[in-house]
């Protein structure tokens, strides 16, 4: 059976996203964070005060996996856990001031990666895409 146009587009989109993630990782390797840790920072920046289970659901990873990531990031001083004000079993997650410069570097790296990916495509074609 011959591939359809929609399956080719789906494959291409998936492949482009994979290649952009790989390029982003290459550019940000010197900062010492894994892709999973970058993802935690990005989602947490948009959802500070969320509990670990909620963040794990947003990122689509197992809660125990997130707990380990948070442990490592907390030991680096990037994330902090705070007790929930009414539920003593729950911890809320917040970025520390040390995380904000990394987020800015992440945004710059993301912008550069996108610019590189779209360098040979005209502005009109980019808007159409």
pTM, rounded to two decimals: 0.77
* 42 — pLDDT class (breaks 50, 70, 90): very high
CA angle, residues 110, 113, 118, in degrees to nearest 5: 125
Query: Nearest 5°: CA angle at 56, between 85 and 44?
Result: 65
Residues paired with 122 in a beta bridge: none
Instruction: Output the six-digit token pair for 45.
Output: 């920046």
- The pLDDT of residue 43 is 96
Q: Does domain 8-128 have CATH number 1.10.10.10?
A: yes
Contacts 24+ apart (CB under 8 A), 70-78: 70/40, 72/37, 73/37, 73/40, 73/41, 78/37, 78/41, 78/102
């Amino acid at each position: 059976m011959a591939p359809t146009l929609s399956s080719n587009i789906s494959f291409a989109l998936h492949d482009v996203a994979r290649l952009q993630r790989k390029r982003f990782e290459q550019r940000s390797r010197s900062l010492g964070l894994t892709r999973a840790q970058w993802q935690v920072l990005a989602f947490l920046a948009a959802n500070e005060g969320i509990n670990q289970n909620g963040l794990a659901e947003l990122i689509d990873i197992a809660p125990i996996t997130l707990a380990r990531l948070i442990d490592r990031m907390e030991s680096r001083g990037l994330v902090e856990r705070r007790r929930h004000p009414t539920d003593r079993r729950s911890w809320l997650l917040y970025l520390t001031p040390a995380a904000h410069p990394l987020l800015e570097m992440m945004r710059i790296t993301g912008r550069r990666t996108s610019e590189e990916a779209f360098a040979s495509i005209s502005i009109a074609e980019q808007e159409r895409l």
